[in-house]
Structure 1
Amino acid sequence: MKGARHLPRPGRVWLIGAGPGDPGLMTARSLEVIAQADVILADKLIPPTALDGARSDAEVIDVGKLGGGPQVPQEETHRLLLEHALAGRSVARVKGGDPFVFGRGGEEAQLCREHGIPFEVVPGVTAGIAASAYAGIPVTHRDLSSAVAFVTGHENPERPESRIDWPALAAFPGTLVFYMGVKALPRIAEQLVAGGRAASEPAAVVQSGTLPSQRVVTGTLADIAARAKEAGVRPPSITVVGPVAGLTEEIGWLGRGPLAGVSVVVTRARPQASGMAATLRDLGARVVEAPAIRIEPVDVTLPDLASFDTLVVTSPNGAHRLFEELRAAGLDARALAGMRIATVGPGSANALRSHGIEPDLVPGRAVGEALAEALSGLDVQRALVARAEEAREVVPDALKAAGAEVEKLVLYRTVPEPLADRDRDAALGADWALFTSGSAVRSFTAAVGVDAIRESSLKLASIGPVTTEALHAAGLDPDVEAPEHTPSGLVSALVERVGG
């Protein structure tokens, strides 16, 4: 019909559960759809890395709710969801936990259906299961509990009366898990005991379950409220009631190992931080990820590789970026055939090995001076140095001084990564900070402040001499320098220091 107005077709909405906090518990599907979204409506209690895979042009809107803190009304969330979806955009509504377990996902699904908006639910790991498991509490157990009930501890405040049948809940033959019930804990315990639940029944409160700051407070229905108050327990927390709550001391597993109870800040760029963080967690550490730098690729054009007799790789990131460029050019490791390959230290050597290249020269000390000395006795005519934009000039200068022709292949730069206030506070409250590069030192000290580091009880661990030099330049002294200048060597040095 002439002159008819054509409205855009509705976009798509994903109602996504991002899990209870540990980024490792996010599902593959959740990461996949976050990477596709035009608009992301995100809660506060999602993992700090949950949106790392989002498109750079995606619009991210904070619609978070935090117990005891600022609130974004649900009506505003509904308005934003409709506005963007009806304009034809794909919308990722990202929630902590599971969207259909006390997440109001059901209401948002009904809203989508009412307005003809296609939607998909992406379930997440709910805190009642995950936080309990991380605390060593199985919500069901063959000998202790054959049923579990999930209950909200924070009902709709607009309702004059509770919709919970407390006598029936007290008689429930299994485990009770209360969400969002920290403030209501005295009333919850009182109602359960009044309904016939034994005052001596075990109970546990898990704060910040699955996160580095996880805490567990145990007791009985008679005293759990007082114990939680004395411990200063705050949201987000769950409360578990039942015989299984008494198993936390026996089978609690988080924080066991040589670094048990030690909080460690990892300052590496996010892609590199995950492996180190996982290793530290396996050793029992409480990991605080505070990536002070970001690796930013630099556009390059590969030179004629056959014209060089020597390739120098100065960092693991340089090794990985070199192979990215080789693949982009339709090449592989065979393009490096015939060249002498040298690295600055074992970390760069291991990175090359991961791409099928065994370096010819790896000095014992992971510093440019050691490599320059090792190269000085060799006949180097033309060298290609694969490096970061801000790398030191020690190796190129030494090669030039020896008469070699040197070309620098700048593959990436390190960019300071700002820290959110909560990440900064968490880092300064930790026991140790690990530094794997001078750029991480410079960016971290700029983000949190040298004076704040001095005033804190934070101890510093350096991967090697160059990183130590950066700490000295900032007016700081490392408490540990790794004898083996690799990430695994740094972790081993920390274990030895803490254990000693």
Structure 2
Amino acid sequence: MSRVTLIGAGPGDPELLTRKAWRLLSLADVVLHDALLDVEGMKEAAPHAQWVYVGKRLGRLSVEQEFICRLIVSYAKQGLNVVRLKGGDPSIFGRMAEEIAACQAAQITVEVVPGITSACAAAAQLQTSLTLRGVSRSVAFVTPRVGKRLTDTDTEWLAVSLAANTVVLYMASAQSQTLGQQLIAGGKSSDTPVCVVENASLEGACLHMTLRELADNALPDLPGPVLLMLGEAFSRANQTHLEERAQLCAIGS
């Protein structure tokens, strides 16, 4: 029987794949994968499968979601065990609902295996907590990017970001300075701590600043996936770790 498994690959480090994810990945005939940070490490789970790149990256040629859905269904209808390997967790900005809908319309069985989203990996890296007793009782995962043919306004992210104690902005680095200005104009304190994390769980830049500094200065060129994380919880981020990562970033540039 045709079967598709949507697997969360986590933030990048293959060791952060769950045992279930690794087991089901090892059974794959074909793996349709995102622009993952360590594809070769993950291929160890399914060395004999056909690995097909269907990634998306801002500013680069990307595979359309409609084509990905058709590809998943096409492989499954050939009787192959299909794994759709998605960065982070499939349910967080992962277009999971569209892929499930495509499979259900074709009467193909789907299983979803959750993964570690990059915000959690970044918090672990920073040795801080996204929630903090007496400081942060709410967390918002937000993206300011608006998809094609959608009716979202480009300010809906702002209301959510102003309401939450801790905010993690995904896919936002290219707009970081403007976003910082909008947050301050909306009422967020300019002294709010901000952490900028590139390649959560792997080597990359880790920068600490205030929201005012984010609004006043363009970020350095960071080629990997970047999170903007803000809130008082990040005032307790491991400063030694941040300084070491900042030095690595400076050396690398």
SS in structure 1 at match of 2:63: coil
Q: Which residue of structure 2 aligns with residue 328 of structure 1?
A: none
Following the alignment from structure 2 to structure 1, what is the Cα–Cα distance between the partners of residues 248 and 183? 37
Whether contact under 8 Å (1:46, 1:95) holds in the other structure is no
Following the alignment from structure 1 to structure 2, what is the Cα–Cα distance between the partners of residues 188 and 253? 22
Following the alignment from structure 2 to structure 1, what is the Cα–Cα distance between the partners of residues 157 and 108? 39
Q: Which has the higher contact order (CA 8 A, sep 6+)?
A: 2
Whether contact under 8 Å (1:14, 1:91) holds in the other structure is yes
SS in structure 2 at match of 1:204: strand
Pairing of 1:169-180 with structure 2 (within 5 A): 169-180=160-171
**Residue 50 in 1 paired to residue 42 in 2?**
yes
How high is the TM-score relative to the length of structure 2? 0.88
Following the alignment from structure 1 to structure 2, what is the Cα–Cα distance between the partners of residues 59 and 147? 42
- Inter-CA distance 167–206: structure 2 relative to 1 (3 Å threshold): closer
Q: Which residue of structure 1 aligns with residue 120 of structure 2?
A: 129
Following the alignment from structure 1 to structure 2, what is the Cα–Cα distance between the partners of residues 228 and 28? 40
SS in structure 1 at match of 2:173: coil
Instruction: Give aligned-pair identity as a percent.
Output: 34
- Inter-CA distance 254–74: structure 2 relative to 1 (3 Å threshold): farther
Residue type of the partner of 2:105?
E
SS in structure 2 at match of 1:67: coil
Residue type of the partner of 1:216?
C
Q: Kindly state the Cα deviation for residue 239 of structure 1 after the two structures are TM-superposed.
A: 0.6
Q: Which residue of structure 2 aligns with residue 94 of structure 1?
A: 85
Residue type of the partner of 2:167?
L
Following the alignment from structure 2 to structure 1, what is the Cα–Cα distance between the partners of residues 12 and 59? 18
Q: Which residue, out of 138, 146, 157, partners 1:147?
A: 138
- Inter-CA distance 50–82: structure 2 relative to 1 (3 Å threshold): same
SS in structure 2 at match of 1:197: coil
CA deviation profile, 1:356-380 (whole Å, cap 9, x unmatched): xxxxxxxxxxxxxxxxxxxxxxxxx
How high is the TM-score relative to the length of structure 1? 0.46
Q: Which residue, out of 36, 39, 60, partners 2:27?
A: 36
**Residue 233 in 1 paired to residue 219 in 2?**
no
Q: Kindly state the Cα deviation for residue 46 of structure 1 after the two structures are TM-superposed.
A: 4.5
Following the alignment from structure 1 to structure 2, what is the Cα–Cα distance between the partners of residues 262 and 31? 31
Q: Kindly state the Cα deviation for residue 165 of structure 1 after the two structures are TM-superposed.
A: 3.0
Q: Which residue of structure 2 aligns with residue 219 of structure 1?
A: 209
Following the alignment from structure 1 to structure 2, what is the Cα–Cα distance between the partners of residues 253 and 84? 44
**CA RMSD between the two structures:** 2.6
Paired residues in the alignment total 250
SS in structure 1 at match of 2:98: helix
Q: Kindly state the Cα deviation for residue 150 of structure 1 after the two structures are TM-superposed.
A: 0.4
**Residue 199 in 1 paired to residue 190 in 2?**
yes
Following the alignment from structure 2 to structure 1, what is the Cα–Cα distance between the partners of residues 240 and 130? 13
Q: Kindly state the Cα deviation for residue 251 of structure 1 after the two structures are TM-superposed.
A: 7.4
- Higher Cα radius of gyration: 1
